[in-house]
Chain A
Amino acid sequence: MTVASVGVGGGVITRETTLRIRRFREMGLAYLLLLPALLAFGVFTFYPFLRNFKLMLYETPPVPGLPAHYVGLHQIVPTLTSTPFTQSLVTTLIFVVLVVPLSLILGLALAVAAHRKLKGIAIYRMIFSSTVVSSVAVASVVFGTLLNPVVGLLPWLGINPSPSALENTTWALPAVAVITIWQFLGLSFIIMSAGLQSVPDELLEAAQIDGAGAWTRFWRMTVPLLSPTIYFALVVSTIYAFQSFGAVDILIGYQNAANLHANVLIYQIVNTLQMENNPGAAAIMATVLFLITLGLTLLQMRFLERRVHYAN
């Protein structure tokens, strides 16, 4: 009797201890596995993010070699009201308005056209998706040549603005927008297509039997059923549009960007940092960009979050 209870008691203690050791080892393993990712995030995402707020408080004198000095909040308002910044913000908003709706509409149109069971449809889908793999540099070389006043297509089409499209105050930004729309088209098509595939065909067929025409079916059924997808595509391409600047850097350049009203926000930040050597002002502008992206990402997170809850 006594012997048995000691045995049982001893067993419980050992099991608890092994369990505790197991838990402890599991915890150790977990932190070990997380270490590489957390280290990289800490050094290259969170630290620079936080340091950005500190940079905003320091002003770098225009004379090279002198150290930055603390100015508190005093350079924030002058930076945000400076002409280069306000101009680049307006330019970026115009750019986003030019790029986003058109790339969504064209992507949706192609997706609807390709949403049919036809022979060879896979090839068309491949073609419509293809621009998603184009980099901004490839797109810039391709369109830079198309828009070239001598070897390009414009003279043949009878449109030849002077100065040429990429050196023209009116046409420089729309030209960059066209390049970006072409580049975004593949992504827009892919997202819209995936959305269309989740719309039940029976619904559309039922509507067709009830006598609804193609136009009515599109506006009354496809678009409402697709609205979560369109919303996602809208948020994603708006974020991308706010962050794009490569075509301006390659085809227009630092010297001309501001004069040609093509000085998008990122380009302004890069040049404030690298050409004007002014990290404080660059940090302030970057914070504005962060707030814009944050707002947009929070909208997107609502979807992501739904997926997380769904998975749990």
Chain B
Amino acid sequence: MRRAGSYAALTIGAVVVLAPIYFTIVNSLLPPSQLAHQPPPLFPSSPQWHDYSLAWTSGHLARYMATSAVMTVSIVLGQLVTSTFAAYAFAFLRFPFKRTLFLLCLATLMIPFEVTFITNLDTLSSLGWFNTYEGLAVPFLATGFGIFLLRQAFLQIPKDLLEAARLDGYGHWRFMVRVAVPLARPSLAALGVFSFLAAWNQYLWPLVATGGTSPLDTVQIGLKQLVGTSAQNIPIALAGAVIAFVPLVILLLIFQKQLVRSLTAGAVK
């Protein structure tokens, strides 16, 4: 009996959370004649995939997705590399100003991008990167969060291991690539998933760094264009939202554990 009550509560929660997405999927499959039907249909009686192909082609979703993919992959790879390098230095090497430089990296977490974007736009123009992939990705190639996360992981590696590797003739470079990075894989995965999510979903920078309707609009800005057009395009915009959402649902299904890990870093002990 109590178990049934638990399931009832959980199911009500799940329905409330999923209802908006469900309604979106149903509406994206409806023929135009049924769209304004009241009450709203709960199932598409004859699903139409027409709006998906329209969103993909004339809605430019294919192009938006490609731009988002290039930008996101560049940012994720960039952040993994720069964070690994910096974290390795902080965890394994001795050098002057180590503490100061580490605090400087942490300090970046306190400066929101919403404050720096004003000057970053000027920097972009002077570099000639307005409306380019470089402009979309380069400002995000380093992350204080990533350096912090990977440093923590590297610090878990016993120092004896470094000494032993030394005796086997390993230099720092080889130790980093062959030992430290493989051992820190869980944290690297957590950082990778987190960066992917943040990069794919970011809104402010792609909005201002490409100047609105541009060939380099990301999928988020593309959705804005689709909403802005006209009421007839609603099913196309809905299909577009579903398409833009799919890569992230796949990400969540595969990497739920890593995502949870990165999102709660700092929350629980």
* A→B interface (CB under 8 Å): 23, 26-27, 29-31, 33-34, 36-41, 43-49, 51-52, 55, 109-110, 113-114, 116, 118, 121, 124, 126-138, 140-146, 148, 150-151, 153, 155-156, 182, 185, 187, 190-191, 193-195, 197-198, 228-229, 232-233, 239, 243, 245-246, 249-251, 266, 269-270, 273-274, 279, 282-283, 286-287, 289-290, 293-294, 297-298, 300-301, 303-304, 307, 310-312
Contact = CB atoms under 8 A, between A and B. Distances in A.
A250 B227 contact: yes
In the complex, the 10 A-B pairs of residues with the closest C-beta atoms, listed nearest first: A48-B119, A135-B201, A40-B142, A133-B248, A48-B116, A30-B95, A141-B241, A37-B142, A33-B85, A137-B220
7 contacts: A33-B85, A113-B10, A136-B201, A151-B27, A194-B264, A250-B224, A250-B228
Contacts, number: 295
A150 B40 CA distance: 11
Nearest to B200: A135
A303 B265 CA distance: 10
Interface in B1-47: 3, 6-7, 9-10, 13-14, 17-18, 20-21, 23-24, 27, 35-36, 38-40
Contact of B93 (A29, A48, A145, A294): A29
Interface of B: 3, 6-7, 9-10, 13-14, 17-18, 20-21, 23-24, 27, 35-36, 38-40, 81-83, 85-86, 88-89, 93-96, 98, 101, 104-106, 108-112, 114-121, 123, 138-142, 144, 147-148, 152, 155, 172, 197, 200-201, 203-204, 207-208, 219-221, 223-224, 226-228, 231, 234, 237-238, 240-241, 244-245, 248-249, 251-253, 256, 259-260, 263-264, 266-269
Contacts of B253: 126
Contacts of A195: 267-268
Contacts of A312: 155
B198 to A, nearest CB: 10
Contacts of B144: 41
A177 to B, nearest CB: 15
Contacts of B207: 249, 270
A273 B118 contact: yes
Nearest to A116: B6
A250 B203 CA distance: 11
A248 to B, nearest CB: 11
A191 B39 contact: no
Listed residue (A131, A153, A246, A274) with the most chain B CB atoms within 10 angstroms of its CB: A246
A311 B36 CA distance: 58
Given A127-B14, A128-B14, A138-B245, A191 B114 contact: no
B234 to A, nearest CB: 6
A30 to B, nearest CB: 4
Contacts of A245: 204
B210 to A, nearest CB: 12
Contact of B260 (A131, A134, A156, A194): A194
Contacts of A109: 13
B89 A29 contact: yes
Given A127-B17, A145-B234, A312-B155, 19 more contacts: A30-B98, A33-B85, A36-B142, A37-B147, A48-B120, A114-B13, A131-B17, A138-B223, A140-B223, A148-B231, A151-B36, A191-B263, A193-B260, A197-B268, A246-B220, A249-B203, A251-B227, A286-B118, A307-B266
A270 B112 contact: no
B89 A133 contact: no
A27 B94 contact: yes
Contact of B20 (A110, A143, A190, A311): A143
Given A36-B81, A141-B241, A145-B238, A124 B13 contact: yes
Listed residue (A145, A279, A300) with the most chain B CB atoms within 10 angstroms of its CB: A145
Contact of B105 (A23, A37, A232): A37
Contact of B23 (A33, A43, A146, A249): A146
B116 A44 contact: yes
A114 B226 CA distance: 37
B102 to A, nearest CB: 9
Contact of A118 (B7, B148, B172): B7
A274 B208 CA distance: 8
B267 A27 contact: no
B91 to A, nearest CB: 10
Contacts of A197: 268
A59 to B, nearest CB: 15
Contact of B106 (A44, A110, A282, A304): A304
